[in-house]
Amino acid sequence: MNPTPCLPRAALATLIFSIAAAGLSAATAPSPVVILPSVTYKPSEVITLWPGLPPGDKPGMGPEYILPERPRPFDQITDISVPTLSVFLPPAAINTGTAILVIPGGGLERLALEHEGFEIAEWLNSKGIAAFMLKYRVPPRDPAARWKVGLQDAQRAMGIIHSRAAEWHVDDDAIGTIGFSAGGEINVLLSVHHSEPRQYPLVDAADKFSTRPDFNIVMYGGGYTNNATNSLREDVASRINATTPPMFIVHAFDDASLSSIILMNALKRANIASELHIFGAGGHGFGIRGTGLPVGHWSELCLNWLEWQGYLDVVPVRKLARDLFKARTGGAASLPSFSAALPKADLNQAFAVQRRFVGLTLRAGDEVAGYTGAFTTAAAQKAVKLSQPVHGVLLKSGRIDAKPGTAVVVAVKQPVRVEAQIGYVMGFDIGTKLVVPRQALTTVEMMVPVVELPGTGAPLKNGLITGNPLDAVAENLGANRFIVGPAVAPKLVGNTDALAVTLNRNGQKISAATGADAKDGQGRMLMTLINQIIDQGRVIHRGDIILSGPLGGVQSGEKGNYTAEFGALGSVAFTLE
């Protein structure tokens, strides 16, 4: 059967997509027209990936055409010799700064660009996500490595996206991928080959950028498993490690492939936090189109996953988090103000900045050690017009363990505050909210006396933080160093509301309180903080410490010798110098 012409002449004026072919001549690389009569959503730009012939190709390949002999409820094309990257940018008003490289499927023999390319790009744009549709070379050039040209094209595309991220208003640390069917194979290979040299000789400056996706969406993927053994291909399994990006994986039960389950098992073994959704029915190749089946909800679940990781945060939130991280790690005397940068924002957006700010720290190699409370007393909440306490994240790099009878010496290079707090060491993993305060206290395995030394520029008056509390939340409450005394079993401490807490500096008492100073008592305070932490998309793990908030107020960190007394819970001695 002869190939069907790409497009009737009468439709050329409305359906031709322009090809940006800088550096190419018609003699070396013709610009084919992608013809999909049902497509109405058009890219703003189409970029030819390679300046000249793609690596390993020979002149005279192609031209591409729609496959008439393979009837499907969508059009497919083949004989692609000039791979391109189609750029679809969301409206500026809803732009999130996140971008996704879209890799359609087609068994590596053809491309289902219509429903796994253009339609996906339109959906992503409607959610504020930039889409870059990859038209990679098919069919394979090398029978022994059928995936190679697709991976080459995907690596080249990722470099181009990174190199022009600022121009397209894309965050360089928020570029992911979505691959369908055989596109899932290219997608997975892209995610595991990023730490190695490219599959081709470097061409230009774009090839110096990373090819690692920040996240990976694998839709009914195949090709990366060994069907005879129901295991991952060795070249994939051997490369899954701590640097592999998190994945969101979707499959239908009546799709014969077991590849998604096999991939998820490997990710679990490597501790790559990922999600797998297997729906009862849906077949293969459902894309984003409407269906009466539950599988149609995959897109909502995917958006929830992206939102949980912060990839749907608005641009001002992202920028402020980066600015805060830069200022904090650079030792700046003052930090950018959340209330000045986002004057109409609320507590949820302040927590969004905090999550991103903490996330940048974690990506730099730190780990979560627990959480600290703030504004936990009625007086503290009244001073800033809050109706609830708030929390920040403690990092393991800031933990200092105190030994009995030995004063901890802390060098102070920037202003700090001194806060005496009760520390609750969690005995269980907690991923759901609690309903009564008693349950909060029963989750505690051990208790520790803690002195936190946050570094924050929030105004202070009579031991109370004043000013805009949203600034403090966005700055992670200034959480930095915290001194932890020896652990004590809760039964030896007794009633935490009756626990007396005093703070002395150079032998003089500078604050005194009891656990009951927390609004509505320690049990309700702890439950409120646990529920708030869960609301912010975190799981509390066994061994995490949750701090009660400052008891006796917040004290300025003047140099001197300190002792914090916690009654039956023990004491912490330290020197600020």
**DSSP 8-class letter at 545:** E
Q: Which of 269, 285, 281, 272 has its CA nearest to residue 246?
A: 272
Instruction: Provide the sign of the torsion angle of the four alpha carbons 357, 359, 362, 364, taken in this order.
Output: negative
The pLDDT value recorded for residue 33 is: 55
CA angle 117, 123, 129 (to 5 degrees): 100
Structure-token pair, residue 154: 């995907």
Is the previous residue joined to 63 through a cis bond, with omega within 30 degrees of 0?
yes
Task: Round to whole Å and give the CA distance between 368 and 544.
Answer: 8
Give which of 39, 131, 21 is closest to 83, Cα–Cα.
21
Q: How confident is the model at residue 11 (pLDDT cuts 50, 70, 90)?
A: very low
Q: Mean pLDDT throughout 86-99?
A: 96
Q: Which of these ranges, 19-28, 374-383, 449-458, 529-538, has the smallest mean pLDDT?
A: 19-28
266 with 373, same domain: the answer is: no
88 in any annotated domain: yes
CB-CB contact of 518 with 380 (8 Å): no
Report whether pLDDT(392) > 70: yes
Residue 441, pLDDT above cutoff 90: yes
The string of pLDDT tens digits covering residues 45-78 is: 999 999 999 999 998 887 888 887 777 788 899 9
pLDDT at 524: 97
Residue 400 shares a structural domain with residue 272 = no
pLDDT above 70: residue 3: no
For the residues 460-465, what does the mean pLDDT come to?
83
Which pLDDT value is given to residue 244?
97
Range of the domain at 400: 367-576
Q: 251: domain CATH number?
A: 3.40.50.1820
Buried b (16+ CB within 10 A) or exposed e, 217-227: bbbbbbbbbee
pLDDT value of position 499: 97
Tell whether the model's pLDDT for residue 488 goes beyond 90.
Answer: yes
My answer on whether 124 and 247 are in the same domain is yes
450 neighbors 423 (Cβ within 8 angstroms): yes
Output the six-digit token pair for 314: 């608005």
Do 132 and 44 share a domain, yes or no?
yes
20-45 tens-digit pLDDT: 333 333 334 445 556 577 888 999 99
Q: At what angle do helices 148-163 and 182-192 cross, to 10 degrees?
A: 60
Same domain for 277 and 395, yes or no, is no
Strands 45-48 and 555-556: unpaired
371 and 286, same domain (yes or no): no
Q: Return the axis-axis angle of helices 315-329 and 347-363, rounded to nearest 10°.
A: 50
Over range 94-121, report the average pLDDT. 96
> Does residue 517 register a pLDDT over 50?
yes
SS3 of 403-471: the string is CCCCCEEECCCCCCEEEEEEEEEECCCECCCCCCHHHHHHCEEEEEEEEEECCCCCCEECCEECCCHHH
| Domain final residue, candidates 270, 290, 310 | 290
Residues 437 and 555 in one domain: yes
Assess contact for 385 and 375: CB atoms under 8 A: no
Of 290, 320, 355, the residue at which a domain comes to its end is 290
Query: Looking at the domain assignment, is residue 334 inside a domain?
Result: no
The average pLDDT across 200-229 equals: 95
The SS3 call for residue 186 is helix
Identify whether 335 is part of a domain: no
pLDDT at residue 2 tops 70? no
In a domain, 472, yes or no: yes
Q: Residue 451, CB half-sphere, CA atoms under 13 Å: how many?
A: 34
Banded pLDDT at 6 (limits 50, 70, 90): very low
What is the sign, positive or negative, of the torsion defined by CA atoms of 140, 141, 143, 145?
Answer: negative
Task: Evaluate if residue 177 carries a pLDDT over 90.
Answer: yes
Phi, psi of 178 (to 5 degrees): -135, 125
Same domain, 273 and 388: no
Residue 267 lies in a domain: yes
List the CATH number of the domain containing 435. Answer: 3.90.850.10
Q: What pLDDT is recorded for position 34?
A: 63
Indicate whether 390 and 281 sit together in one domain. no
Question: What value does the mean pLDDT take over residues 329-350?
Answer: 90
Largest CA distance in the chain: 96
Nearest to 303 by CA among 275, 335, 323, 333: 275
| Least confident span in 45-59, 285-299, 327-341, 555-569 | 327-341
Q: What are phi and psi for residue 384, nearest 5 degrees?
A: -120, 10
Q: Give me the number of domains the chain comprises.
A: 2
| Whether residue 272 sits in one domain with residue 416 | no
Which region, left, alpha or beta, applies to residue 64 given φ > 0 means left and ψ of -120 to 50 means alpha? beta
| Rounded Cα gap, residues 408 and 402, in angstroms | 6
Is residue 533 assigned to a domain?
A: yes
- Tens digits of per-residue pLDDT, 414-432? 889 999 999 999 999 999 9
3-state class of 571 per DSSP? strand
Residue 410: other Cβ atoms inside 10 A:
18
The verdict on 273 and 386 lying in the same domain is no
Answer whether residue 525 is part of any domain.
yes
162/206 Cα distance (integer angstroms): 8
pLDDT score of 32? 52
| Residue 327, Cβ density class (10 Å: 0-12 exposed, 13-18 middle, ≥19 buried) | middle
Among 248, 269, 290, the domain boundary falls at 290
* Structure letter (DSSP) for residue 515: G
- Phi, psi (degrees; rounded to nearest 5) at 483: -100, 125
pLDDT tens digits, one per residue of 299-337: 999 999 999 999 999 999 999 999 999 998 887 878 899
Supply the pLDDT for residue 35. Answer: 54
What average pLDDT does range 237-242 have in this prediction?
Answer: 96
Span 348-369, average pLDDT: 94
Q: Provide CB contacts within 8 A for 236, sequence distance 6+.
A: 188, 189, 192, 224, 266
The three-state (H, E, C) secondary structure of 26-74, written as one string = CCCCCCCCCCCCCCCCCCCEEEECCCCCCCCCCCCCCCCEECCCCCCCC
CA angle 8, 12, 18 (to 5 degrees): 135
pLDDT in tens, 140-162: 999 999 999 999 999 999 999 99
N- to C-terminal Cα distance for the chain? 85
User: Does pLDDT of 543 surpass 70?
Assistant: yes
Is residue 485 domain-resident?
A: yes
Same domain flag for 258 and 116: yes
Report d(CA 116, CA 86) in Å as an integer.
13
